[in-house]
Amino acid sequence: MITTSAAFIIVVEFGSVLVCGWLLSSYLLSVYSTRRTKLDRIFGPVERAIYYLGGVNPYEEMGWKAYLRAVLALNAVEAVIGFVLLLFQGSLPLNPMHAPDMSWSLSFNTALSFSSNTNLQHYNGGSALSYLSQMAVIQFLQFTSAATGLSVGIAVFRGLTGKTKGLGNFYVDYTRTLVRVLIPLSGVAALVLIFLGVPQSLNGYTIFKTLEIGGSEVVKSGPIASLVSIMQLGTNGGGYFGSNAANPLTNPSQITNLFELALMMLIPTSLPFLFGRMLGRMKEGRTIIVASYSLYFIDLVIAFIPITHLGQGMEVRFGAASSVFWTVTTTAFTTGSVNASLSAFNPLVILAALFGMIIQATPGGIGVGAMYMLMYVIMTVFIVGLMAGRTPEYLGTKINAGDVKLAIIAFLSHPIIILIPTVITFAIGAQAAAGLGTNSLSFTQILYEYTSAAANNGSDFLGSAGNTVYFNVSTGIVMWLGRFIPIAVMLAIAGNMVQRKRYASEALRTDTFAFTAVLIVAIFILAVLTFFPFLAIGPILSYLEGFKNGF
């Protein structure tokens, strides 16, 4: 049963994050605008040095195609660097515990995973990676993939608001995101985590003698606090250990548990407010934040049903309510970190987690979540326009057939890259290599694996059991398709709309609570019902079977 104190803590957490997100949105507006600020004296020289070394003209405005080319090129180079370092980590420095080279398929999967902001881990955390790999691959890609997502989200905002001539310059957005947002915030967060007891060290693992005669215990330490800060702040999720935030070195107390939850929620919550500020109409940002959090609350209600009504839940170090709250949050914000084992949760909790990853805008990951919500807004505006017999409009400009077709492509790409690999896996019996059968639970686990990969979430049931050539390659491909197809499509829509004529009057108001309600219903009809047959034979069937057997 969820207690009054647990409910109070959750409410306070929400309130704190919303206030901090609103305040952060004001700072982000100054970061991504062209106006000069006092912080230019601090960050300006660093940024100019980066532009000089990279041969970047910071005043060059990019169209959507140039912006997309820059996104793909830089992320491909980063993935290749990560792949090579992992492939040869055994021969490289900063490897005091002598971690061996990774296999080519696991290196391929890990490089694509972290470069796509997914952070799916088919390796065993602290045992499989050297310190160099933890910092120069894992943490490096967590910064760069988060910077990519936030930059793309800002570019889409610019296109839809129509306040600029183009979408901006990706290299400038990317640099300013790293220098002015992610590095300072994650640095402060890391210091807070160290103060709260999360280790940060390069001294190798510590061996303690136990009370048993001749017995010893190896305590794996390393650069943990710096990784946890960016893994949560950048909605990355890949932990230092295989058990992720369930490990007491990563998440030692209830205070760190709440702090890490707030970190993963902070930037995605700030972006709807930022959208309203960039547009000069805060009510439009209110539509996005209310719709996003309403869907999030629906997920929470579904997940808490086993605790509040059936007396079922998972009691772990942080308690059932805290573990459920974390699991729903980490999938709603597509972070993917976990503070309890997914395999022990009630199927309704897994169903709620799947909803968050299917929708991807509840509120979703850093930058990309808000981008997905705007995709749903465009589709909803089109549907409402058809019902009312009017030409669909959004933000004072007409939505044409090309915009809607592109939005539908982005929407349909998600179920296609999830459901087809899921069916293929069972058709060829590949799930057996991970120790799974053909029952509803096994189906749920494979469906979750590809949903998590496509949603760039990264939480999964398989862990190191998924370290097979088939799962490494297939999920690696799904992760990159799930990352960059929607980005390409939404940049195209934003690029088409940025120079479009704007009208003073609007045929359809999208800043009202009535439209917000329609938007929420449309998202459920479009997203959830698309997956319903697969959900029915997966987590829903597992729940009904457990209910029949009295759990």
pLDDT value at 10 more than 90: no
CA angle, 293 then 294 then 299, to 5°: 90
Per-residue confidence (pLDDT) for residue 133, from 0 to 100 = 93
Check residues 316 and 172 and name the one with the higher pLDDT. Answer: 172
User: Which of these, 369, 356, 292, lies nearest to 324 by C-alpha position?
Assistant: 356
306: cis peptide before it, omega within 30°?
no
To the nearest whole percent, how much of the chain has pLDDT over 70?
94
- Cα distance from N-terminal residue to C-terminal residue, the chain: 16
Per-residue confidence (pLDDT) for residue 368, from 0 to 100 = 94
Q: Residue 244 — pLDDT band, cuts 50, 70, 90?
A: confident
Helix or strand (DSSP H, E) at 400: none
Average pLDDT value for the chain:
90
pLDDT value at 86 more than 70: yes
What pairing do the DSSP bridges indicate for beta strands 397-398 and 216-219? unpaired
pTM: 0.93
pLDDT value at 46 more than 70: yes
Structure tokens at 339: 């503070």
Per-residue confidence (pLDDT) for residue 16, from 0 to 100 = 95
Instruction: Return d(Cα 213, Cα 447) in angstroms, integer.
Output: 47
Per-residue confidence (pLDDT) for residue 221, from 0 to 100 = 77
Question: Considering Cα of 310, then 315, then 319, then 323, what sign does the dihedral take?
Answer: negative
pLDDT value at 258 more than 80: yes
For 386, other C-beta atoms within 10 Å of its C-beta total: 11
- All residues at 6 or more sequence positions from 125 whose CB lies less than 8 Å from its CB, including other chains: 239, 240, 241, 242, 243, 244
Instruction: Return d(Cα 390, Cα 64) in angstroms, integer.
Output: 29
Q: What is the pLDDT of residues 416-429, one digit of tens each?
A: 999 999 999 999 99
User: Which of these, 484, 492, 478, lies nearest to 406 by C-alpha position?
Assistant: 492
In the block, tokens 């990774």 appear at 102
Per-residue confidence (pLDDT) for residue 312, from 0 to 100 = 47
Structure tokens at 141: 């890609």
For 84, other C-beta atoms within 10 Å of its C-beta total: 14
pLDDT value at 310 more than 50: no
Structure tokens at 100: 């061996």
Structure tokens at 278: 């960039």
Instruction: Return d(Cα 518, Cα 530) in angstroms, integer.
Output: 18
pLDDT value at 317 more than 90: no
pLDDT value at 215 more than 90: no
Residue 398: strand pairing partners: 393
In the block, tokens 């308690």 appear at 319
Go through 89-116 and write b for each residue having 16 or more CB atoms within 10 A of its CB, e for each that does not. beebeebeeebeebeebbbbbbbbbbbb
Structure tokens at 399: 């939505």
